[in-house]
Amino acid sequence: MTPPLLAPAPEGPAEQAAKPSNAADSRASRFRRGALATILSQAITALGQLATVPIFLAFWGDELYGEWLVLTALAAQMAIFDMGLQTYVVNRLCQCYARKDLDQYARILHSALAGSMLICASALALVVVVALLAPMNSWFQLELVHSGMAKCVAILLALQILVAIPSGILRGVYRTLNRYPTGVMLHNVQRIAHFGLTIAAVVLTKNLAYVAAAQLIPVVGVLLFARRDIARNHPEVSIGISRADKALALSFLGPSSLFFLLQLAQAGSIQGSTIILAAMTGSASVTLYVSLRTLCNVVRQAAAAFAHTLWPELTSIEATGDYQKLRALHLLAVKGLTALSMGAALFIYFGSKDLLQLWTGGRLAGNDQLTAALLALLVLQTPWWTSSMVLVASNRHRPVAVATLAATILGLALGAILLPRLGIIGLPIGLAIADQLVCGWFIPMRVCALLKERLSHLTRQVLLRGIPTAALGFGSCIALSHFLPELHAWRLPALALTVALTISVTTLGIWLSASERRHIFAMLKR
């Protein structure tokens, strides 16, 4: 106990208020910078994907680009070897650093790095054996890429994905050190270098191996930089594997497995559909499908840019048990992000031919039915996907993981069945049917149970009140199409303005309640 004479003088009201205020200001500053970095990350990804497609088509052509997409889809499956480890470990490290338990921090970090390196090395050895022995060209109908080149590219692309796993853990360390924006910006630099080196390699050569090797450079560079930067600026943090604990590393596998299921479902939905399409129809269909999916995914990326900024708010409110505020924020988020997705989808659908002309210079023909099916899938996913954030942010992600994986497996099966009957649109239709049968009602129901809210109330608020917004938005785009034909110079700007005004006005005036409108205006004022 501190002797009375040596005890610090009691703090006055100003001093007592200053500490929380400073802490709040610091958190607000980190939140703003983190939100901006996250939005920038989504923009870089979207712009990079949109920029690379016309470059590939111009310098490689449809068929060679389609075969490259098949090989990248195969290699992307290596991401499942993360096994949810990064998310779980970074959460544990945050807790240890907050408690100043640096000894346990080091043991966890060293064990995670050692475990991920061992898993990745084993996975790479497996890839090498399979690539050398498997008849990849006959399996996936590769005609322009000879067998030796296909095997080399597959190994290089797999190595790129596997090196990114321990690199991701190191970038996650920034979050534990209250430097989350730095970690995101480091990832942004990596993505910019990835797209820049890819474009340079494609323009200078048709050698797929050179492109794969170029993409490996920024992954290794970020890994080395993060290792050096953390060691120099945070000497209290030990980076290495010398204190790895086998038992501790094995204990990570159980809790992280649910995050692994989420990653497996995401990878399966994106890359699994590409592989099924390649195996059943060939690389030409893959080029069209993946290119249009990339364009349509702007819908999801626009919503995700705002959704990620809500994550810490949801976690904080749930931790305090203020479920009334959580219910209000959840409903507002579902309506707002669904409206945003709907607006982006209308712009892409009615402007698809103009966008493809600007994007690919007319080298890629559109497909209205496929575009509509892909956009419908993404818009229908938005309500339950937004609701799932409440469960994931509060560490109740088990039902999300199980439901998403089940929907992916069922969707790919239905897509494979519908593909011969409906053509290429069978894949997104199969995914959409399974998505609504499994996730569309189950996840909102679990969220409503947590928030002590009726599912019927959520359904009325989101669906019934949202129908006028969708109808008026669709009608305004049809009306505009009568005045401005496709490929008109002013069509895209006019379409963007029409969609923005119609969706925003109808959402504020019809879809949102009076209290939700007050909340939105208060946020805009701040």
| Residue 12 banded pLDDT, cuts 50, 70, 90 | very low
pLDDT for residue 15 is more than 50: no
Domain regions of the chain by residue span: 32-238+245-254, 297-526
pLDDT for residue 482 is more than 50: yes
Measured at the alpha carbon of residue 62, what is the angle toward residues 56 and 65, in degrees to the nearest 5? 50
pLDDT for residue 258 is more than 80: no
CB 428 within 8 A of CB 419: no
Instruction: Return the exposure string of 73-91: e unless at least 16 CB atoms fall within 10 Å of the residue's CB, then b.
Output: bbbbbbbbbbbbbbbbbbb
Q: Which two tokens stand for residue 284?
A: 């030409």
The whole-number average pLDDT for the span 495-501 is 93
Listed in sequence order, the residues at least 6 apart from 384 whose beta carbon sits closer than 8 Å to its beta carbon are 439, 440, 441, 443, 444
DSSP 513: -
Instruction: Return the exposure string of 445-480: e unless at least 16 CB atoms fall within 10 Å of the residue's CB, then b.
Output: ebbbebbebeeeebeebbeeebeebbeebbebbeeb
Higher pLDDT: 212 or 487? It is: 212
What is the Cα–Cα distance from 235 to 97, expressed in whole angstroms? 13
Question: Given this model, what pLDDT does residue 252 score?
Answer: 82
Question: Given this model, what pLDDT does residue 320 score?
Answer: 67
Return the closest-CA partner of residue 278 out of 496, 71, 13: 71
DSSP H stretches of helix in 8-146: 13-60, 62-76, 85-98, 102-133, 136-139
DSSP 143: -
| Residue 7 banded pLDDT, cuts 50, 70, 90 | very low
Span 17-28, pLDDT tens digits: 444 445 444 545
What is the Cα–Cα distance from 466 to 472, expressed in whole angstroms? 10
pLDDT for residue 303 is more than 50: yes
Q: How many CB atoms lie within 10 A of CB 432?
A: 23
Question: Given this model, what pLDDT does residue 300 score?
Answer: 82
By CB neighbour count within 10 A (0-12 exposed, 13-18 middle, 19+ buried), where does 409 fall?
middle
Span 374-405, pLDDT tens digits: 999 999 999 999 999 888 777 677 888 889 98
Q: What is the pTM of this model?
A: 0.67
Report CA Rg, the chain. Answer: 25
